[in-house]
Structure 1
Amino acid sequence: MKLKSLILGSVAAAGLSTAGFAADLGVLTSLDVCDELGLSGLTISSDTNCLQISGEVKYEFNWGNFSDGATPVATPLGGLIGSVNIDRASSIPGTSNNDWESRVQSWLKFVGTSGSDFGPASAVIKIKHDDRRRVRNGGTAVGGFPGVEQRETGNVVVIDEAYVQVGDTTVLTAGKRGSIFNKGDDEPFNFTGLFISQRADVGTVVDENDFDRFAPKFGNHVIQLWTNVGEGFIAKIGLENLGSEGGFAASVPLGLPAVTGAEKAGTLVGVLDYAGSGVTAHISGAVGGLLDGQRNAGDTYLIHTGVTATFDQFKVRAAGSLGGFSDAAGTTYATYWNALVSGEANFDMFKIALSAEAAAVNGLAAVDSNTDFGFGGSVGAKVAEGIELNLGGRYFNDGTAGVGDSYQVALQLIAAVTETLKITGEIGVYGNDVDTAAAAPGAALRAAGSDFYAKAELGWAPGGGFSSSLGATVQQNGAYKVTFKAAKSFQ
């Protein structure tokens, strides 16, 4: 509101000096449209349109010795969705072993809204910038990236979203934006999480950017329609990835077929959401690779469902996903599934959480896996005003015979020093049993081992949407990292 007052004051001053000039700036003199449309935040209005402006800037800097490759602790589904890794220190003679990363992320969003006979009509533009520089071992070629630094893709300003939308209880959307596919209600409640869930986009369905060969590609260029059908239910349907993203033009691991963007283009998405009476639930379905009209390596499907129910001090959650993908000839389909259950009980001083998960891939010889599973739990206690302790752990059993089990145990302390300062400390250990078989094709066998770690962070949130933190992590294997973060959002 202060910014609105400043803008309007400036316009009024201009009007006193030059009436014609004030007329030119008259688009800034009315706030009635925003109020009538129920829009708030940082807004500018004309007689017929309300413009909302929001954004965020985040900065992160890491320094230490932490980037000499990665040590895998757990490798779900034979590495198809990646591994859960811990940092490792390098010790290269005659050169620097220092690593550092500097990253700036920012976005700016404009939403212009006016009234129509069908409900609010909006045009949305979101600009995004992601600039990341990484240096390993002082930037030397020995054990490091070629040249002085590695510059990540995305350091230019891009149009992240650009779409139009109209409607109230029924809404039509078209343009470039994210997906309507709902993959929520599937995160474990225990504070350490679970190993498969950590790799599966913190849930039961992997991010299509990590599992791109096997999952439909969502978002991008879209046509979407949703409607409120009443009694807490919302139905959605859409065509997504009409811009043909998500292909692999080169050869891929495990002898799997390469996939082009055209083969993955066109994803049909349907969703039914429910919220009410202490329950949130959904079922989402998608079929990818429709536009080319052929069955090939780009054809995929995915179903995801999740439900969370709260009863007094108890909370329970169950989620699952089922997907499939075709081989290059279009003759064989492989399937994967992932399921998770979690529960939490809150008492006066204590909080108890238990979680379990399982996953497998079957159908193509190159990617077949036995069933991987894991479980975890935690106990939290409020030991004093503003002080909380969490003790927990997680366990992972690789379905491959001869691959050692993995685990993590951690103790966490959270202390509110003042209303704006918070200290978080954690000590723990990662470990694994001995491997007699590789966890993933081409992976080295691991000896039984463990790595103790300790980390601490001082967080500062003085208000106004600003937050900052300074933290450090040290590990038994010699790796260490100092991290500074700062962020500010506005709307």
Structure 2
Amino acid sequence: MKLKSLILGSIAAAGLSTAGFAADLGVLTSLDVCDELGLSGLTISSDTNCLQISGGVSYEFHWGDWNVESGVARTFDGNRNIAVGNTYTNAAGDEFNKDWESKVEAWLKFVGTASSDFGSAKAVVKLKSVERLQTWNEGQTTRNGAAVAVPPVTFVHGDTTQGFVIDEAYVSVGDSTVIMAGKKGSIANLGDDAPFNFLGLFNSDAIDGKGVGIDADTDYLGGAVIQVVSDLGNGVNVGLGLENLNGAFGVNANGTYKGVPANEQGTLVGVIGYAGEGITAHLTGLAFGILDGDVESWAIHAGATGTFDAFKVRAAVAYYDNFKFGTDVRGQGAANITNGLLSVEGTFDLFKLALSGEFANVDAVAANWTDYGFGGSIGAKVTDGIEINLGARYFQDALLDLGTTQVAVQLVAAVTETLKVTGEIGGFFGDGIKNGAIQPDDAVYYGAAELAWAPGGGFTSSIRGEVNSADAYKVTFKAAKSFE
């Protein structure tokens, strides 16, 4: 940057000293193509291209006794689990109960941009690496209690080795209308569907991003894509895409190929959204398995959030027709599924109130049922740096006729501008816990405390400890830093 400034200063001085030279030079604003394209951050430029570089590293370490988990609040999308302490005893009578996990995640993203007659032309490449080591009962068993794996390494979704893999690789061109092709995420808008109450809702928690009905973390969205998005002005945007064109990517934890059946490959995605004047809203339509000419399944997701002075209102609905994707719905066969959520929040001088409700209607081959849940919370500012939240939520599993309730109180204290302490105590109650054989009675109590530090520079870290009455405990350390 000092060399560029020196060159620009020299040219400017020459232009001011000689009027004839100024006329020949015209209006010279920059010698850097990155500046001409309006790009900033960590960049490298050539005569025609600007290369932006960003990345990050995060680390997590867990230690304690929690390797067994028992289901509670049996939602349609998956059991919410409670950690249970577990001791493994070998043939010699030796006991082993400690569990630990270490995870390092790193990513590098390169975006090369040049100008074109249609707008900015880009090539994007993102490299990602995840190394994760899990040890259960001091290496004597796996998480499921079977013989220990050698080595006990589990790779997370999307990664084939411990080294860097290509997480994104695509090209795009355009400004208000952008055409994209290659390997990337979905354009499906699945937002405006998270509840406002601080505990959330049980069924909503099973969705990636804690939402309604459709999980973005699926091979049926994104992957190899051809997409077009356009900003129509006045807050309106639209998009159309062909996704899941490669069928699958990556491997499962057991090393098998993570694939999508041929008849379910190819997803058509259509989106229309609005953002403006205190309102955000969208409608997303999905058709699955279109490459063979037959639509195997289709879905819609719609949501809206309105902010009106001290109040917020959010509503969302999702529908899956003929949901199967290689598995049954709770053993009842393929099903048509409707999910809905309504949440409201009011913010006053010292208090914040939130109420939320959800339902999931399942029309399966062998059965029909409607699960439902609701939750609420009240938050109060004790001082400028201290806040207390009190919340509860309930879920009813209609198929098994089991109910689960969670109640918790949370204290958040900003010790300094960079240091925050959070403490929480609560409990789970109901038939869902007793039926899950967590312990003889129908209650599990827990407590947790976390110290978070954000000194600036993009660095964050935290340490958290938690323990419950099911004899499980865990200490978690996290640290992360990103750059751009």
Q: TM-score, normalised by structure 2?
A: 0.85
8 Å CA contact retained: 1:413, 1:425: yes
Provide the rounded CA distance (Å) in 2 between the counterparts of 1:282 and 1:435: 37
CA distance 1:31–1:429, change in 2 (3 Å): farther
Partner of 2:426: 428
Match of 1:40 in 2: 40
Q: 1:172 aligns with which of 179, 192, 195?
A: 179
1:10-409 aligned within 5 A: 32-68=32-68, 70-77=69-76, 81-93=77-89, 94-141=94-141, 143=145, 146-147=148-149, 150-153=152-155, 154=159, 155-201=162-208, 202-207=210-215, 209=217, 217-245=220-248, 260-294=260-294, 299-325=296-322, 334-365=335-366, 368-401=367-400, 403-409=401-407
| Aligned residue in 2 for 1:476 | 469
CA offsets 1:430-460 (integer angstroms, 9 cap, x no match): 1222689x7xxxx779865111111101111
8 Å contact 2:214–2:318 — kept in the other structure? no
- Does the 8 A contact of 1:33 with 1:46 survive in 2? yes
- 1:34 is paired with a residue whose SS is helix
Corresponding residue pairs, total: 438
2 CA distance for matches of 1:476 and 1:445?
A: 10
Go from structure 1 to structure 2 and tell me whether the alpha carbon gap of 1:31 and 1:362 turns closer, same or farther (over 3 Å shift): farther
Q: Distance in 1 between matches of 2:224 and 2:272?
A: 21
Percent of residue pairs identical: 52
Question: Is this contact kept in 1: 2:190–2:214, CA < 8 A?
Answer: no
Match of residue 25 from structure 1: none
Mapped contact 1:170–1:225 kept (Cα < 8 A): yes
Partner of 1:17: none
CA distance in 1, matches of 2:371, 2:3: 60
Distance of aligned partners of 1:6 and 1:424 in 2 relative to their CA distance in 1, 3 Å threshold: farther
In the alignment, residue 84 of structure 1 is paired with which amino acid?
R
* Matched AA of 1:152: T
> 1:254-302: per-residue Cα shift (whole Å, max 9, x none)?
xxxx99532221111000010010000000001010112246xxx2211
Higher strand proportion (structure 1 or 2)? 2
Q: CA deviation at 1:32?
A: 2.4
Q: In 2, distance between residues paired with 1:114 and 1:99?
A: 50
CA distance in structure 2 between the aligned counterparts of 1:475 and 1:434, rounded to whole angstroms: 17
SS at match of 2:96: coil
Give, in angstroms, the shift of residue 227 of structure 1.
1.2
In the alignment, which of 458, 478, 483 is matched to residue 465 of structure 1? Answer: 458
Residue 399 of structure 1 aligns to which amino acid in structure 2?
Answer: A
Q: Using the alignment, how far apart are the partners of 2:3 and 2:211 within structure 1?
A: 46
Partner deviation per Cα, 1:101-124 (whole Å, 9 max, x = no partner): 000111110001111111111000
Deviation at 1:156, TM superposition (A): 2.9
Task: Tell me by how many angstroms 1:147 deviates.
Answer: 3.8
Aligned mates of 1:484, 1:74 — CA distance in 2: 28
Q: Structure 1 residues 42, 130: CA separation in 2 closer, same or farther (over 3 Å shift)?
A: same
Deviations 1:120-168 (A, max 9, x none): 1100000011111100000014836514652122323110100000001
| Structure 2: distance between partners of 1:301 and 1:89 | 42
Unaligned runs of 5+ in 1: 10-29, 250-257
Q: TM-score, normalised by structure 1?
A: 0.84
What secondary structure, in the 3-state scheme, does the structure 1 residue paired with 2:84 have? coil
Q: Which stretch of the first structure deviates more once superposed, 320-329 or 381-390?
A: 320-329
Query: Is the contact made by 1:247 and 1:263 (CA closer than 8 Å) also made in structure 2?
Result: no
> One-letter code of the match for 1:477?
A
Q: For residue 453 of structure 1, what is the aligned residue in structure 2?
A: 446
Change (3 A) 1:351 1:87: same
Q: Which amino acid in the other structure matches residue 230 of structure 2?
A: T
Separation in 2 of the partners of 1:432 and 1:319? 28
